[in-house]
Amino acid sequence: MLKGKRILLIIGGGVAAYKALDLARRLMERGASVRGVLTSGGQEFITPLSVASLTGDECYTDLFSLKDEAEMGHIRLSREADLILIAPATADLMSKMANGIANDLASTILLATDKPVMIAPAMNAQMWDHPATKRNLETLRGDGVHIVQPGDGMLACGEVGPGRLAEVMDMVAAVEDFFGGDNLLLSGKRAVVTAGPTHEPIDPVRYIANRSSGRQGFEVAAALSRLGADVTLVAGPCAQETPAGVTRVDVETAREMQAAVDAALPADIAVCVAAVADWHVKNGGAQKLKKSKDGTPSFEFGENPDILKGLSGLKKGRPALVVGFAAETENVVEHATEKRVRKGCDLIVANDVSAQTGIMGGEYNEIHLISAAGAESWPKMEKSAVADKLALKIAEVLKG
C-alpha cells in the first residue's frame, strides 16, 4: 500500500521509542523504504544498531559526522524522502520545530527540509496540557505539520491521561491516509465483518462458547477500513478495541448476529470471521439451574442459523464477494476446500487452531486461502499482517 514511498523516521527520546521499531517494520511491510534518525534522547532507549538492522539502512545520529556531513548529510536526508515522520515527538522536539531551533541532527533536518512532516507526540499528561506545548502545537499546525493525536491512558510515568504515543497501526493508518487515494482501493464499497465468539445461554449465568478472541476479525475490519471501505463490524462478546472508522454492533448469540448482519445489508463485501456456535440450548433454565437428586440435567439443542451459507445463497442482494473462515484441527486444506463448496462462498480462509498452534487467542496466524482455483498458503505472520494481505486480495478480486 506504500510501495515506493520513502519515509525518514526521526525517533525522539522517551520510553515509547521502542514502538518506533515496530512502526518501521509495519511501514516496510506495506512497501515503504524507511531510513532512521535517532536523537540522543532516543539512544537512551533503543540503539542505532537495532534501527539499522531493522530498516536495512544506516541509522543517522550525529550532526557533525565527518563522513556524512562531507556530503551535507543533513540536507540530503531532509530532501530524499516523501515524508518525514517523527515518532515519538517529544515536547523538546516540538518546541525546537515551532521555534526554528537547529542544534542537533534531527532539528537541523526539520529546519532544512522542503518535504511534508508528520509528528506523533508522546509525553507526560501535564506536559501535553501545558500552555507552551499547546502554543507550539498550534504553531506547527499553522506551518502545515500533520499531527497524529496521542492517546489517553496509562503513561510510562504511572500517571493517567493524554500524551500516550498513538498505537502503531494508528500511525500507519495516518501515513497511508496522507498518501491518499492511491491506497483507497475499496473507496465507496460497503463491508460487513463478523468477529469473535457467540455465547449461547444455558441459564442466566452459564453459556456455551468457544475460545475465539475476536482479534483476527477486528484486524480484518480495520484493514478493510484503511483501504477506504465503509465497514460494519458485528462482534460477539470479546474485549477487542473498536478499530478507527469502523461501525461496531455488539451481539451475544448466533441469532442476534444473524439479525445484525441482515440489518447491515446491502454490502459489497461480507467477511465471516466469527466463530459462531452451531447450536443453541432449547430447554435452558429461566433461572439458574441447581443440582438436584435427579442427577445431571439433559439439554435439547437447536441448530443455529448458518450466517455464511445464508449470505452466499442470497438470491437478491448477495454481496459481490463472500469470504468465510474455517477453523480446523486436522486436514485443514481438505476440510476447508469442501466447506467452500458446501457454503457457496467465494473464498475460505483456513487455519489450524489445534491447541499447540497458539492461533486461537494468540497474535499470529498461518492461513491457507481457498478459492475455486485451489489453495494458496501464506507464511506465519501477525494477524494484522494477515488482515492487510486479505484486504488487498479482496480489492484485487473485486477489481477483476
Q: Give the per-residue pLDDT at 175.
A: 92
Q: Which three cell numbers stand for residue 274?
A: 466469527
**CATH code for position 217:** 3.40.50.10300
Looking at the structure, do residues 190 and 175 belong to the same domain, yes or no? no
339 and 355 fall within a common domain: yes
User: What SS3 class is residue 374?
Assistant: strand
Question: Does the annotation list 96 as a binding residue?
Answer: no
* Residue 325 assigned as binding residue: yes
Percent of the chain with pLDDT over 70: 94
pLDDT digits (tens, 9 = 90+) for 167-209: 898 899 889 888 875 567 898 999 999 999 999 999 999 999 9
- What's the confidence (pLDDT) of residue 155? 65
Same domain, 269 and 364: yes
Residue 294 annotated as lining a ligand binding site: no
Give yes or no for residue 102 having a pLDDT over 60: yes
Is position 185 annotated in a ligand binding site?
no
Cα 302 from Cα 280, distance rounded (Å): 5
* C-alpha cell read off for 399: 477489481
Please tell me the pTM assigned to this model. 0.64
Does position 14 have pLDDT exceeding 90, yes or no? no
Task: Look at residue 143 and tell me whether its pLDDT is greater than 70.
Answer: yes
Average pLDDT, stretch 363-381? 91
Assign 70 a pLDDT band (cuts: 50, 70, 90): very low
Altogether, the residues listed in the chain come to a count of 400
- Cα–Cα distance measured from residue 56 to residue 309, given in angstroms and rounded to the nearest whole number: 46
- Residues 174 and 219 reside in one and the same domain: no
Which residues are marked as active site?
Answer: 157
Specify if 1 maps to a domain: no
pLDDT tens per residue across span 223-239:
898 888 999 999 999 99
Read off the pLDDT of each residue in 251-280 and give the average, rounded to a whole number: 97
pLDDT confidence band for 154 (50 / 70 / 90): low
Q: What is the pLDDT of residue 140?
A: 94
- Greater pLDDT, 290 or 257: 257
**Is residue 260 domain-shared with residue 343, that is, in the same domain?**
yes
Does 139 have pLDDT greater than 70?
yes
Q: Is residue 115 annotated as involved in ligand binding?
A: no
| DSSP for 149-187, written as a single string | --EEEE-TTS-EEEEEPPPHHHHHHHHHHHHGGGG-TTT
305 is in an annotated binding site: yes
pLDDT greater than 70 at residue 384? yes
Judgement on whether residues 226 and 312 belong to the same structural domain of the protein: yes
**What range does the domain containing 383 cover?**
184-399
Average pLDDT for the chain: 90
Please tell me the total count of domains within the chain.
Answer: 2
Looking at residue 1, its pLDDT comes to 67
Region of 72 on the Ramachandran plot (φ > 0 left; ψ -120 to 50 alpha; else beta): left
